[in-house]
Chain A
Amino acid sequence: MIEICIYGRGGQGGVTLAELAAHAAILEGKHAQSMPSFGPERRGAPVLAFLRVDETERIKVRAEINEPDVLLVLDPGLLGVGDVVSRLKKDGMAIVNTIKSHEEMKTKIEANKMATVDAMGIARAVLGLPIVNTTMIGALVKATGIVKLASLEAPMEERFGKVAAKNIAAMRRAYKETVVS
């Protein structure tokens, strides 16, 4: 089982990201669980969402993820907020939306593996909006391979209807541009 924490701000779509990825994994015949950090989310406030994917076994645990295998950061401004970043497993992976260089980001987070992408730039260019969740799914897939990129198309179409195509394009572009090392 892989445990992923998505760290963003209310309104950035972190919960939706976890839900879309869970749907994609389930469509592939895997077991998945998406769980918001329960509560009345407020726009702009730090929000955690949780995602678990297991290739073979049904997921039983319902506790929050305290030490994730993967930490996906939607808003680089949150890197200094709270202790979320420090709870990443030592052999874990961080995936960060940032305009900083990949090498610079590697000095900021202690992680075994790092993935970076300018998701905000891509979202503004492709969607015309500063909402990075669907873009960051591309980074998540590139960095972890938890699902196939194509498996996200149906859940996105169901969720976004007319604007799904743009979101899928943003995801695909982020997949290409994400640097992993």
Chain B
Amino acid sequence: MKKEKVVGLEGSFAVSEAVRMANADVIAAYPITPQTHIVERLSEMVAEGELDAEFICVESEHSAMSACVGASAGGARVFTCTAGQGLELMHEVLYIPSSMRLPVVAVVANRALSAPLSVWCDHSDMMAVRDIGWIQMLAENNQQAFDLTLCAFRIAEDNEVLFPTMVHIDGFHLSHVIEDMRLPDAEEVAGFIPDYKHPFALDPDKPVSMGCYGPPFIYPETKRAQEVAFENVMPKILETWKVFGDRFGRYYAPVEKYRMEDAKIALLTMGSYSETAMLAIDELRAKGEDVGLIRLRLWRPFPFKEFREAVKGVEVLVVLDRCVSFGMGGPVCSEVKSALYDQQKKPHVVGFIGGLGGRDIPIEGFEYMIQSALEKVKAIERGEEVETEMIGIRE
């Protein structure tokens, strides 16, 4: 019998609860909107003795990640969180834990990037860190923010993984929303997160230098080793989500489908708008349209196999990006196209960019994208060039 209770919890507090239950040893973070409530709550927990962790108050995100690297190299269970410009300031140091195989867990409350200054949500920050060797996954609601943060510790710290892991929760849309969710019993969670021991943690009795110098005769080999190791994390991610599902009743997958049975048209989304998109799918299904929804839960490593499987039989794939790759369209759309390039049979892919800097996308916005994509496919079939459309722009 699962012991759990239904609670109303803000997304930020849900994340903090997960970190508390995972019993993190070291937290180094700098507050930035919209992630601030996570840091505040965690510092409160440490101050009140609810969480026996070292809370390192740092002067910047660059220092936050540097402190995380040191603590993780020392063998500690390490957590940090940030958003937008904070993630960008951290950027230089983000490569270190992924190259040194240090399983830091970070939650990013996704936020747009300046200029102009915006504290609101989009996916520009997470897209800017997609090539750095961190595992990246996205939550769609507060329940998932909690669940995936817990899973992130188990995945990252698995000795066959040992890669830093980022859980993305959309800023404000999850971080500042209170909704009902199920909070499992702390003991149940403790049973899910095994004790952690880094196989090569720093030890004062056996001093070593880590990551210090890689001349040309060895650097490419280190990158090859890193790439091979990163390609092999998928089985452990799947295994962790399976164990989590068996224990707590909620199953996660790298690519998740909604009403995709016999769908000829599929919409692809990531993050907190996915459930709003489901309502659009429901309305279109009620009108007899063969549409479904595909959500990318895992962004890195990109789930090629699961994605290709999910779009089998789909004739039109509509992709929503919440980020602009200037001169290139939407990054998710480009990625999806490259994942399909070698396939004999593949759908038309039509990309849209929307929800930038917190611009709302109502249910009708998703219906519009799907209807408009069908028109664009006709133009593609006539041999016309179709540009990525930014939705809802006042011109």
Contacts and interface: CB of A to CB of B under 8 A. Distances in A.
Q: Do A and B come from one complex?
A: yes
Contacts of A35: 173, 176-177
Interface residues of A, number: 25
Interface residues of B, number: 29
A107 B329 CA distance: 51
Interface stretch (A23-31, A120-128, A131-139): A23-31
B177 A34 contact: yes
Contact of B179 (A22, A38, A66): A22
B128 interface: no
B172 interface: yes
B358 interface: yes
Given A38-B172, A62-B173, A63-B361, A26 B275 contact: no
Given A22-B8, A38-B34, A32 B278 contact: no
Interface string A29-60: 11111111011100000000000000000111
Given A26-B7, A60-B275, A62-B272, A31 B180 contact: yes
Given A61-B276, A62-B177, A32 B8 contact: yes
Contacts of B276: 60-63
A51 to B, nearest CB: 10
A39 B7 CA distance: 25
Given A62-B272, A63-B360, A36 B172 contact: yes
A29 B6 CA distance: 8
Interface string B350-385: 000000001011110100000000000000000000
B89 interface: no
A19 interface: yes
26 contacts: A19-B10, A26-B6, A27-B8, A30-B180, A32-B8, A33-B179, A35-B176, A35-B177, A36-B176, A38-B119, A38-B121, A38-B171, A38-B172, A38-B173, A39-B358, A60-B275, A60-B276, A61-B279, A62-B272, A62-B273, A62-B275, A62-B276, A63-B361, A63-B365, A64-B360, A66-B362
Interface of B: 6-8, 10, 33-34, 119-121, 171-173, 176-180, 272-273, 275-276, 278-279, 358, 360-363, 365
Interface of A: 19, 22-23, 25-27, 29-36, 38-40, 58-64, 66
Pairs of residues from A and B, 5 with the lowest C-beta to C-beta distance, nearest first: A26-B8, A38-B172, A60-B275, A63-B362, A26-B180
